[in-house]
Copies of this chain bind each other. A is one copy, B any other.
Amino acid sequence: MIETDSVGIVKRQFYTFAEPPNEMPLESGEKLGPITLAYETYGMLNEQKSNAILIAHALSGDSHVAGYYSQQDKKPGWWDFMIGPGRAIDTNTYFVICTNALAGCQGSTGPSSINPATGNRYNLSFPVVTIGDMVQAQTHLIDHLGIKRLLSVIGGSMGGMQALEWAIEYPDRVVSCIPHATTTRLNAQGIAFHEVGRQAIYADPDWRNGNYLDEGVVPEKGLSVARMLAHITYLSEESMHQKFGRRLREKERYGYDFSLDFEVESYLRHQGASFVQRFDANTYLYITKAIDYFDLQQDYGSLESAFKNVMAKVLVFSFTSDWLFPTAQNKEIVQALQVHRKHVSFVEFDLPYGHDSFLIKNPKQEKLVADFLRCVYDEVK
């Protein structure tokens, strides 16, 4: 039974652009085209086209941010509780867009796509793309939808990097921006965790140097290990303690073998096994690389320079227990914007769920976003 304040049944759409010879230039210097972006929209674009909100997803997300694909669908989109008629991002008022990122594996052009120039899958010949390239691709879709300015760009984690990139690179196209649980550049520890995940994929003989789909196999074990590791970094020590502690899995005493002892082991194995059903190993490599490369300080000389031309009103929020992108890293955004007396607000939520806190239903987060959007919309509508 679909809730009455859900966006209901939704459908994935596709937009293709950058057809040769008009390929899209990438930060690497390479060109890519044609490019297809998979996307979903909810609500109605108003006549002035002033009510469009773009949601950007995190590493393992996709364009299915809200609603259901069918009545039988068991789970809604990944941020469903935030989006719908009467919800924080109110689809009675706003027109919501979410794209699957460039290099993604849920319908957008990525390493598993066929390169029309060769008739073969790209695999590792797909160019390494950046957060900036992902955002540039989104501008093509926004143009296609006839939208000059986005009322807001909203994203957590890698989605937050995209939100920042929009505000910085396209200042006159972004009225407001809500980056959260994010950073202006990945630190050494974050790069290290990504690299171990990539090494786990490379180590799987079924990865076949990236050509696994052509050879009819899938590096499930390697991708699963990468996901299990990453998943630990999305939780917190406290939330894992609360959720699992040292509870044994369907046994009274240790097994004294290597089958399965603890609930947390069972949970992780399940996370790994379900991830490989929905995610592509090469996309995992490309997306982690894009995040590794994100570095506003390097790209603009300093954070102050990066944010100099931002016109958007910015709301940043973070979580006390997020040790992947801790509050201090989110505050760097706030401080750099304040140097230029930009309109910026900041909230830290005291929640125990780690980095994934932003994905967990939280009335305070809902109210914060709802109120912020209402304010910025009141000014432009």
Residues of A participating in the B interface, judged by any CB pair closer than 8 Å: 28-30, 124, 127-128, 185-189, 191-193, 195-196, 198-200, 202-205, 221-222, 224-225, 228-229, 232, 235, 237, 240-241, 243-246, 254, 256-258, 261-262, 264-265, 268-269, 272, 285, 289, 292-293, 295, 298, 323
A193 touches B258 (CB 8 A): no
Contact partner, A258, options B196, B198, B243, B254, Cβ 8 Å: B198
A241 touches B28 (CB 8 A): no
* Contact (A232, B293) CB under 8 Å given A188-B240, A221-B203: no
B222 touches A203 (CB 8 A): yes
A192 touches B241 (CB 8 A): no
Distance of A292 from chain B, by nearest CB (Å) = 7
B245 touches A225 (CB 8 A): no
A243 to B188, CA, bound (A): 9
B188 touches A246 (CB 8 A): yes
Interface of A is mostly: helix
B256 touches A127 (CB 8 A): yes
- Of all chain B residues, the one with the shortest Cβ separation from A248 is B298
A191 to B232, CA, bound (A): 11
Give the number of times this chain occurs in the complex, counting copies: 2
- Of all chain B residues, the one with the shortest Cβ separation from A28 is B256
Contact partner, A269, options B199, B243, B246, B293, Cβ 8 Å: B199
A323 to B246, CA, bound (A): 18
Residues on B with C-beta less than 8 A from A200 are: 200, 203, 225
Distance of A211 from chain B, by nearest CB (Å) = 14
B228 touches A196 (CB 8 A): yes
Residues on B with C-beta less than 8 A from A203 are: 200, 203-204, 221-222, 224-225
Known: A191-B265, A199-B269, A200-B200. 4 other contacts (CB 8 A): A192-B240, A196-B229, A202-B221, A203-B225
Most B CB within 10 A of own CB, among A128, A200, A244: A200
A228 to B194, CA, bound (A): 11
A241 to B328, CA, bound (A): 14
* Contact (A268, B298) CB under 8 Å given A127-B256, A187-B240, A188-B243: no
* Contact (A199, B228) CB under 8 Å given A188-B245, A189-B237: yes
A246 touches B295 (CB 8 A): yes
A225 touches B228 (CB 8 A): no
Residues on B with C-beta less than 8 A from A189 are: 232, 235, 237, 240-241
